[in-house]
Amino acid sequence: MPFERRRHRGKPEGGTRPGLALRLAALGGILFLHLPLLFIVLYAFSAEDKSFVFPPPALTTRWFAVALEREDVRAALLLSLQVASVATVLALFLGTMAAAAVWRSSFFGREAISLLVILPIALPGIITGIALRSALNLGGLPFSFWTIVIGHATFCIVVVYNNALARLRRTSPSLIEASMDLGANGFQTFRHVIFPQLATALLAGGMLAFALSFDEVIVTTFTAGQQATLPIWMLNELVRPRQRPVTNVVAVFVIAITLVPILLAFYLTRHGQDAAGSGR
Amino acid sequence: MSAAAWQAGRADPIARFARYLHSRPRLMLALLLTPPLLWLGVIYLGSLLALLAQSFFYIDEFSGQVVRELSLRTYAELLTEPNLLVVARTVAMAAAVTLACALIAFPVAYYIVRYASVRLKALMYLGVMVPLWSSYIVRVYSWKLILAKEGVITWLAEHLGALWLLEAILAVPVLGGPSLSFSMFGTFIVFVYIWVPFMILPIVAALERVPRSLMEASADLGAAPIATFRRVILPLAFPGVVAGSIFTFSLTLGDYIIPKVIGTSHPYIGTVVYAQQGVAGNVPLAAAFTVVPMIVMAVYLTIARRLGAFNAL
């Protein structure tokens, strides 16, 4: 560690208050992250429908009604919700199983399992997407609801796995031993001891997986064929805009639908450090 | 549990199965591992390997059909000048984006760790996490509104009397364009915007691990705050920056949506892969192209490991 012991003559450390430059830079960074979304909300109320002119000439709420009436928007919204739900359930099962296996036992290739679980989000989405698509082509399988689900579940597993494993590692083994000593079998121990410990972590993991699946677009473009999830619908509008106000409203929907599960997930895992029965 | 219940438990087939499993931990392990391994190992890894295999096939020039025999012909095609230019452009963009992300992320992370009160810290943390998890496509779209010729940037430049500056930026050859929405600057801004949360979090994690006593010791030994920052904090936070750069670099290498929505017609690795497997129907070349980010990232990860980035993840 480069830790030189040269003496500097200067003011004693007075760093309890940040300098103006740092405060501005930090504020600027946070604003940079959030201001753009406010523009989307603003434009959803804009009366102008041909361009993105700023400031909007007048404000209106009529686009919300127009968007909700649109058959294609409703179909895309429904498809997205269905895909996200099924992918989340699959990821919950597979992620929990993988986490349980890695947690309780040491076996040959345990590290490889962790790597395998993380790989779908570590590699750029386009690689996962094109790999699945070419495999579907090689296997002669047509695109369907399930091909989208397969792609989504693959990269959602890691979210559940991480949440479940972190919680399991904080669950004291002595609780499980006590349960077994008192005569409960493996299933009973899981139901009455492990699962209650794990429940909020799984709920949080499931929420994040849902949000991740709901607005995924890169893998989906490769496995969806002609079907349009809500993000695919948005992407098509972005490349070839047809009705900008409706797109703005749909964008607001997407923000709202993904924000709720994410906030809930953080609420559920906010006490990251303390867990019941941690005797370690 | 009463004796009767225990007796019932013995007779219950589920309970017996549970006991049977408990006496055979290897079988239990196999049952737990098989479904996720089938999914990830067979479906996912199998697809990846199949893709890799296809990069060794090639397209017959006359029929346009994929010839399924092993050959390095596609890789020879990959190494021609226009394709290398695409790789160079993408890597340069990824490097520039990574640098900008680090510059924006560091003050935010530093403020979160050192100065924010408990409540503000939680709020700022959430303020970084929410954009990381949510609405990728919507967040890209927001810049379509902002950067449009008639949008807020132009309006702002007009009112600040800085229209000449905007025009000067757009007039830069290659990087400029008719409007920010159709320029390489635009692509760059959106990349930075989308990936910066991935840089903030690892830096926060690295800074959290710098013990306060170390800074106090440095101050006690007479170092000015700026010296403490440069000689104590920065070296200790650097692995966090490298860890964040793994994300920003890799994500930029593989993205094809952002350059398609905001930017010029100059191709990037992602857009070429998309076009080759789709419109052009040249899956072998698309597959060979996906090998490029894998190799670049493998090299990058090797260097990052040397710099200690994995301890900061």
**What value does the CA radius of gyration of chain B take, rounded to a whole number of Å?**
27
CA–CA separation, A137 and B283 (whole Å): 11
Q: Tell me which chain A residues have a C-beta less than 8 angstroms from the C-beta of B231.
A: 2-4
* Interface probe with A: pick from B28, B56, B65, B135, most Cβ of A within 10 Å: B135
DSSP A146-201: HHHHHHHHHHHHHHHHHHHHHHHHTS-HHHHHHHHHTT--HHHHIIIIIHHHHHHH
Segment A230-237 mean pLDDT? 90
Nearest to A255 among B110, B135, B155 (CB): B135
| pLDDT, tens digit (0-9, with 9 covering 90-100), for A75-97 | 999 999 999 999 999 999 999 99
Give residue B7's pLDDT. Answer: 54
Residue A275: which pLDDT band, with cuts at 50, 70 and 90?
A: very low
A43–chain B Cβ distance below 8 A for any pair: yes
Sign, CA dihedral A169-A197-B204-B243, equals positive
B292 sits in the region (left: phi over 0; alpha: psi -120 to 50; else beta) called alpha
Q: Which residues of B198-235 are buried (b: 16+ CB within 10 A; e: fewer)?
A: bbbbbbbbbbeebeeeebeebbeeebbbebbbebbbee
Q: Tell me which chain B residues have a C-beta less than 8 angstroms from the C-beta of A127.
A: 48, 51, 254, 290, 293-294
Residue A275, SS3? coil
B230–chain A Cβ distance below 8 A for any pair: no
Range from A12-16, A45-49, A183-187 carrying the lowest mean pLDDT: A12-16
For chain A positions 122-161, those within 8 Å of chain B (CB to CB) are: 122-128, 130-135, 137-138, 150, 153-154, 157
Which structure tokens are listed for B192? 């930075």
Ordered by where they begin, the domains of chain A are: 69-278 (1.10.3720.10)
Cβ contact B51–A116 (<8 Å)? no
Nearest to A33 among B36, B128, B270 (CB): B128
CA–CA separation, B38 and B48 (whole Å): 14
Mean pLDDT of chain B, nearest integer: 85
Residue A5: which pLDDT band, with cuts at 50, 70 and 90?
A: very low
Cβ contact A186–B19 (<8 Å)? yes
Q: Residue A72 belongs to what H/E stretch?
A: helix A71-104
Give residue A170's pLDDT. Answer: 83
Q: Tell me which chain B residues have a C-beta less than 8 angstroms from the C-beta of A116.
A: 40-41, 44-45
- Give, in order, the Cα–Cα distances in Å from B86 to each of A133, A147, A196, B187, B253: 23, 31, 52, 15, 11
Cβ contact B251–A97 (<8 Å)? no
Residue A14: which pLDDT band, with cuts at 50, 70 and 90?
A: very low
Residues B116, B124 contacting (CB under 8 angstroms): yes
Cβ contact A120–B155 (<8 Å)? no
CA–CA separation, B106 and A237 (whole Å): 35
Q: Residue B66 belongs to what H/E stretch?
A: strand B66-67
CA–CA separation, B251 and B199 (whole Å): 11
Counting Cα atoms < 13 Å in the Cβ hemisphere of B256 gives: 27
| pLDDT, tens digit (0-9, with 9 covering 90-100), for A161-173 | 988 988 888 887 7
Segment A96-106 mean pLDDT? 84
Burial category of B243 from C-beta neighbours within 10 Å (exposed 0-12, middle 13-18, buried 19 and up)? buried
Residue A13, SS3? coil
* Interface probe with B: pick from A13, A20, A162, most Cβ of B within 10 Å: A13
Q: Tell me which chain B residues have a C-beta less than 8 angstroms from the C-beta of A238.
A: 137, 140-141, 144, 261
Segment A188-205 mean pLDDT? 85
B39–chain A Cβ distance below 8 A for any pair: yes
Distance of alpha carbon B290 from the chain centroid:
15
B146–chain A Cβ distance below 8 A for any pair: yes
Residue A1: which pLDDT band, with cuts at 50, 70 and 90?
A: very low
Segment B69-85 mean pLDDT? 87
B267–chain A Cβ distance below 8 A for any pair: no
Q: Residue A156 is which amino acid?
A: C
B80 phi and psi angles, rounded to 5 deg: -80, 165
What are the residues whose beta carbons fall under 8 Å from the beta carbon of B25, sequence distance 6 or more?
A104, A105
CA–CA separation, A114 and A102 (whole Å): 8
Cβ contact B44–A4 (<8 Å)? no
Q: What letter would DSSP give residue B59?
A: E
For chain B positions 83-102, those within 8 Å of chain A (CB to CB) are: none
Q: Tell me which chain B residues have a C-beta less than 8 angstroms from the C-beta of A97.
A: 32-33, 35-36
Nearest to B227 among A8, A113, A211 (CB): A8
How many percent of chain B have pLDDT more than 90?
22
Q: Which residue has the higher pLDDT, A59 or B104?
A: B104
CA–CA separation, B250 and A162 (whole Å): 21
CA–CA separation, B183 and B98 (whole Å): 19
Q: Tell me which chain A residues have a C-beta less than 8 angstroms from the C-beta of B228.
A: 13, 15
Q: Tell me which chain B residues have a C-beta less than 8 angstroms from the C-beta of A128.
A: 44, 48
Residues A130, B54 contacting (CB under 8 angstroms): no
**Angstroms from A275 CA to nearest CA on chain B:** 19
Q: Looking up tokens 């296809």, which residue turns up?
A: B54
CA–CA separation, B269 and B289 (whole Å): 7
A240–chain B Cβ distance below 8 A for any pair: no
Q: What is the ipTM of this complex?
A: 0.81
Segment B24-51 mean pLDDT? 87
Residues B262, B144 contacting (CB under 8 angstroms): yes
